[in-house]
Structure 1
Amino acid sequence: MWRGSITTAKEARRRMVLLNKATEQYSYIKTCIPTTFSLMIPVVDLSKPDAKTLIVKACEEFGFFKVINHGVPMEAISQLESEAIKFFSMPLNEKEKAGAPNPFGYGSKIIGHNGDVGWVEYLLLKTNQEHNFSTYGNNPEKFRCALNNYMSSVRKMACEILELMAEGLKIQQKDVFSKLLMDKHSDSIFRVNHYPACPELAVKGENLIGFGEHTDPQIISLLRSNNTSGLQISLRDGSWISVPPDHKSFFINVGDSLQVMTNGRFRSVRHRVLANGIKARLSMIYFGGPPLSEKVAPLPSLMKGKESLYKEFTWFEYKNSTYGSRLADNRLGHFERITAS
């Protein structure tokens, strides 16, 4: 498997025209200390009998955890990563043939529709429809096969995790969450992010933002990356910790929809990516979402006489509301009945 940077800094500047404009267009975070990796990140071994208990605990305390023994073949991971590297290494005009991300396709720097930018380029793909892969490099069929094999394995893992989660919550309907991802109308999304190395833009005492702080709106997100650092998550007290990279494992995010379905027992994790000054970072994220018509509300089996913190909404309504927001906005605020705590 590829370990190093995708391109040199010089190549990144040449190939990513949109990312090579004045650095004041980007955001920085002031920091006076070197990045230290946190040992707090929960680790769940999916092959162990205590997995369901550890998943619930991690979702309650962090909204985030790492999974090992996940069952996704390393060959499938390596093949898709290799195809993604080839794609992002192409000249900009070739990458743009994949189409603008409206909503699916190739994009760079601009994240969303409301002014957010980052040191990133990306591919955004739908998981339940065929794409025109004729523009995806010199061997589009190989890209298509690698993508389908990877997504099939990751969706299976996502459903396993969600069913273990339901068991851990003592919900009788084991597939209460997973059935939404398995539905043929599931609005799940797949994203590949490439963060070029940027040594020239590294300002002393500051870090360049690759992808600004946000929560994921879906039910659950499954992320893996190469061995380059950059991912950070926010703790309940508002402090940020750096996640040690691990190319063999997956990192799981609780999304906004799962927070609502558990009536705030699980909290969607706020996270961000800082650009690496030396190496490029490549991440692949599967966002497990429900069908557009699915009603999202706290599950009755988890209420036990408690008052609902959220108004019921459809996934279509919530997804629409996110288009008018910035990355860092609290999107769930529009749907709260009382202040979630």
Structure 2
Amino acid sequence: MASQASHSELKLHQPENFQFNSVPDSHDWLYLYDHPFADPIGPDSVPVIDLTYSKLIEKIGKACEEWGVFLITSHGIQPELLNQLGSQIHRLFALPTEVKLKVAKTEARMPGYGGVPSARFFPKFTWSEGFSITSSPREHAQKLWPDDYSSFCEVIEEYKKITRQLGCRLMHIMLLSLGLTEEEINHTAIGDSNKILTSMHLNSYPACPNPDRALGLVPHTDPGLVTILYQDGVSGLQVLRHKDGNGPARWVTVPFIPGTLVVNMGDLMHVLSNGRFHNVLHRAVVNKTDQRLSAGQFFVPPVDVNVGPLNRLITGSQPVYKSVPWLEYWKLRETLYDESLQAIKVDGHGKEEGEESTCKPRNFGFEHHFDLDKRIGARSNRYK
């Protein structure tokens, strides 16, 4: 008898064509309205930063501390390349399901067609498809388009190369905004840009007959340093704003502005800044009429590098977080998911309001999933 696929393996790829008249129970999320939606105007306008701006260091530092996410213009990536990227992502996800499954992810091979790693933590499917690229896309592209794979590879590799340079430049500016000198930056975990590692994840969020009951991507923070996100023309990325003088905690939609890219902070940049930079909680919602496509480029340090608060930022005060190897932190994310930061907090820095204890791993087996509503609610209620 053939062995039955594990639940986590099934979560790596969901061979759906999304041709449903309504949202099936397998994709039905109940906790979408834990916080109100805010109009992205006035104080809830996501910062837009022109990279030719004369006070760039100050402006980026302010956005990292107050928002943890911002849009960039004048980034040097030509509109033609962005258009080609969007076309190639569309070409990929338009393939028949049986073709895409030729390069499906497995437990042993994470690049390829399938969902994001966090999918296995939840008992529901998201309304999305994904495709992960950790090195060259050529091996998979040859299986998808045996006679016509070169254009996909050329566009992806060119975009990855330029975006890598852009991301390293942005991280350098972020460290300058924290008061580090060039010499101090060279001695940080991310001082040598040649050692920074990147991966890419392409996303498709199909039109949904009942968008009020489906999620494209669950609320989460990114585990690495920073993420640069391309959006194809349809908004759907939402970030959670803390309760402040402008209102309660609320979901704010990051708008699509032609030619811009989205930059958001990850957990490790939050740790490096000793908590000053905001690792923004975000999610993706879907809509009834339009497919949404995006591409995230994720930046992480070398696996053997210890990541902890920068010395300059803990002079005269206690660090908020312990220093841990990046690989160890990644393993914590694999076990504790969104509670991993709490696990590396220094004693004396208590839990955020509404946050649960993270002292031990949980059993996330298919038969023992936690209550979904409570899980999503507890995560976002920390910001009330």
Q: Aligned to 1:149, which of 151, 158, 168? A: 158
Q: Aligned to 1:55, which of 39, 60, 70? A: 60
Going from structure 1 to structure 2, the CA distance change for 1:146 and 1:129 (only over 3 Å counts) comes to: closer
Name the aligned partner's letter for residue 125 of structure 1: I
State the match for 1:43 in structure 2: 48
State the match for 1:189 in structure 2: 199
State the match for 1:305 in structure 2: 316
**Count of aligned pairs:** 319
State the match for 1:226 in structure 2: 232
| 3-state SS of paired residue (2:298) | strand
Q: Structure 1 length as normaliser, TM-score?
A: 0.85
Structure 2: runs of 5+ lacking an equivalent: 1-14, 244-248, 353-384
Mapped contact 1:114–1:325 kept (Cα < 8 A)? no
Name the aligned partner's letter for residue 192 of structure 1: L
User: Is the counterpart of residue 324 in structure 1 residue 320 in structure 2?
Assistant: no
Displacement after TM superposition at 1:30 (Å): 3.8
Correspondences of 1:118-197 after superposition (within 5 Å): 118-127=126-135, 131-137=139-145, 139-173=148-182, 174-175=185-186, 176=188, 178-179=190-191, 181-183=193-195, 186-197=196-207
The Cα offsets for residues 284-318 of structure 1, whole Å up to 9 and x where unpaired, read as 11010111111010011222221011111111011
State the match for 1:245 in structure 2: 256
Structure 1: runs of 5+ lacking an equivalent: 1-14
Mapped contact 2:68–2:279 kept (Cα < 8 A)? yes
Q: Aligned to 1:68, which of 64, 69, 73? A: 73
Correspondences of 1:61-100 after superposition (within 5 Å): 61-100=66-105
Name the aligned partner's letter for residue 62 of structure 1: W
Displacement after TM superposition at 1:330 (Å): 2.8
Deviates more, 1:62-71 or 1:33-42: 33-42
Deviates more, 1:291-300 or 1:68-77: 68-77
| 3-state SS of paired residue (2:72) | strand
Going from structure 1 to structure 2, the CA distance change for 1:61 and 1:110 (only over 3 Å counts) comes to: closer
Mapped contact 1:181–1:289 kept (Cα < 8 A)? no
State the match for 2:378 in structure 1: none
Q: Aligned to 2:297, which of 254, 268, 286? A: 286
Deviates more, 1:26-35 or 1:79-88: 26-35
Higher Cα radius of gyration: 2
Name the aligned partner's letter for residue 148 of structure 2: N
Per residue, is there more strand in 1 or in 2?
A: 1
For 1:143 and 1:207, the matched residues in 2 are separated by: 34
Name the aligned partner's letter for residue 145 of structure 1: E
Q: Structure 2 length as normaliser, TM-score?
A: 0.76
Mapped contact 1:230–1:275 kept (Cα < 8 A)? yes
The Cα offsets for residues 248-281 of structure 1, whole Å up to 9 and x where unpaired, read as 1011111000010010011200000101111010
For 1:77 and 1:177, the matched residues in 2 are separated by: 30
Going from structure 1 to structure 2, the CA distance change for 1:19 and 1:154 (only over 3 Å counts) comes to: farther
For 2:82 and 2:321, the matched residues in 1 are separated by: 38
User: Is the counterpart of residue 339 in structure 1 residue 347 in structure 2?
Assistant: no
